[in-house]
Structure 1
Amino acid sequence: MARVRYGPRSEAEIKAAREGSAKLPDIWSTGVVAVWESDADAVAAVLPPPLKPGERPLVRVNISKVDLPGYPLGAGSFAVAAQHGDRAGWYPLVMPMTHERALIGGREVFGEPKKLGEVVVTRDGNAVAARLERHGIAFVEVRGNVTGPLEPPAPAEKTDFYVKFLPAVDGSGFDADPVLVHCTRQEKVRKLEAIDGEVVLRESAYDPVADLPVRRLLEITIGEKTTDQRGKVVERLSAQAFAPYLHQRYDDPQQAHDGPPEGTV
């Protein structure tokens, strides 16, 4: 009988896949990063407990082209500065990805708020343009001109905070308590340049990042970097406390609270 591909994998195949994923080479990306101060109340409003605002009401957008073997990936992140206990980091609100493979792994394993979208980075001489786009709306655009090289920073550890959860089958609450994940990245930068430019936030009902306006632009850079990442569940959260933030993960707020179709058992 021909192999049934939806059938079980052998122990050897499972072991080979696990070992292969543990030996990935450095994967380099070219990305535009913009950081700005926004409204303190707006930053605080998007953070589910137990996360607290960072020392400053910072917002960061990262728009990158990733040199994955076999096919390029567009990867984006729109995040606010946050604090969990004595750990400072970033809480991403939306992470557009151009491929389903990157989306599924991030959402199911780490709880990342990934969604399919268009992620574009272009450079023509010193002119740089980058954007995050979904549903035909370029809800974030960064554009400007490279003004000169910067000294690449030393390798550094950075933290993102994610909430991993599964909505309940009956449409009420969760199948289990949500968990807070610390995703720790070791980042190496081999090239970095400064950009004189602007950040444009456009209104979108699906990705309402315009609620976190640019009050003071701090920096825009373009660089080449590689990172690895490791996740750790650090705390189980109150389902009741997190429920008001569940809609952040979905385009349609009603989708977050859908029950099973009528007539099902």
Structure 2
Amino acid sequence: MARVRYGARTEDEIRAARTASSRLPDIWSTGVVAVWESDPDAVAAVLPPPLKPAGDSLVRANISRVDLPGYPLGAGSVAVSAVHDGLSGWYPLVMPMTQERALIGGREVFGEPKKLGEVTVERDGLVVRASLARHGIAFVEVRGAVDSVLPLPEPTEKVDFYFKFLPAVDGEGFDADPVLVHCVRNEKVRRLERITGDVVLRESMYDPVADLPVRRLVEITIGEKTTDQRGRVAERVSARDLLPYIHQRYDDPQQILDGPPAGSV
């Protein structure tokens, strides 16, 4: 009988696949990063416990074109600064990806809030435009022009915080205790330029990053970077504390039922 590819793999085959995946070459991306100061109350409101505000109320949009072997990938994220157990990092609220292959692994392994979307990075001479779009709405757009070349930073370690969980089969709570994941990335940069421009946030009921307004633009850059990543479970978290935030992971039309902020007219 011919090999049935959905059948069980041998231990040797599993080991060979794991070894091959651990030897991937550096994968470089061209990406636009915009960082801005936002409303401190808004940033604090999106952080599930035990994450705490970092004190600087920063929001970061990362919009990249990734040179993956075999197919192009657009990858992006919108994240807020946060602290856990004395460690500073970023808590991504949404991570649009243009390919399902990039979507599945990140969600299942690390708990990344990845969703299918449109990711655009365009450059014409010095003029740059980058955007994240879903459901026909470019909910983040970065526009500007390169004004200078920046010195290359040393390799840097960066941390993202994710919550990994499985909603319960019966629709009530989770199937197991959720966990907080520290995802550590080692980043190398081979080109970095500064952009003078602006950030436009557009209203979207599914990706409401417009609730994190640009109070002061800190920086916009475009660069060529490569990263690796590894994750670890930092702690198990309270299901009761996390439940009010799990709609962040999904396109939840029931958000239309959310009440107005306290004290609004």
- Pair in the same fold by TM > 0.5: yes
Q: Which runs of 4+ in 1 moved over 2 A?
A: none
2-structure distance, mates of 1:145, 1:156: 26
Partner of 1:258: none
**What amino acid is the match of 1:211?**
D
Task: Give the 3-state SS of the residue equivalent to 1:157 in structure 2.
Answer: strand
Q: 1:93-112 counterparts in 2 under 5 A?
A: 93-112=93-112
Deviations 1:37-71 (A, max 9, x none): 00000000000000000120000000000111111
| Contiguous gaps of at least 5 residues in structure 1 | 256-265
2-structure distance, mates of 1:17, 1:189: 29
Q: Does 1:248 align with 2:248?
A: yes
Size of the aligned set, in residue pairs, is: 255
Partner of 2:235: 235
Partner of 2:84: 84
Q: Does 1:196 align with 2:196?
A: yes
Partner of 1:37: 37
**What amino acid is the match of 2:148?**
G
Does the 8 A contact of 1:194 with 1:220 survive in 2? yes
Q: In the superposition, relative to structure 1, how do residues 59 and 13 fare at CA in structure 2: closer, same or farther (>3 Å)?
A: same
How far did 1:12 drift? 2.1
**What amino acid is the match of 1:58?**
L
How far did 1:3 drift? 2.1
Partner of 1:152: 152
Task: Give the 3-state SS of the residue equivalent to 1:94 in structure 2.
Answer: strand
Does the 8 A contact of 1:247 with 1:253 survive in 2? no
Deviations 1:127-166 (A, max 9, x none): 0000001011100000100001000111111000000000
**What amino acid is the match of 1:3?**
R
| Contiguous gaps of at least 5 residues in structure 2 | 256-265
State the TM-score, normalizing by the size of structure 1: 0.95
Partner of 2:259: none
Q: 1:6-21 counterparts in 2 under 5 A?
A: 6-21=6-21
1-structure distance, mates of 2:104, 2:76: 15
Deviations 1:44-102 (A, max 9, x none): 00000000001200000000001111111100010000000110000000000011111
Task: Name the % identity.
Answer: 78
How far did 1:184 drift? 0.4
Does the 8 A contact of 2:206 with 2:253 survive in 1? no
How far did 1:170 drift? 0.8
**What amino acid is the match of 1:11?**
E
1-structure distance, mates of 2:240, 2:188: 39
1-structure distance, mates of 2:143, 2:235: 39
State the TM-score, normalizing by the size of structure 2: 0.95
Partner of 1:139: 139
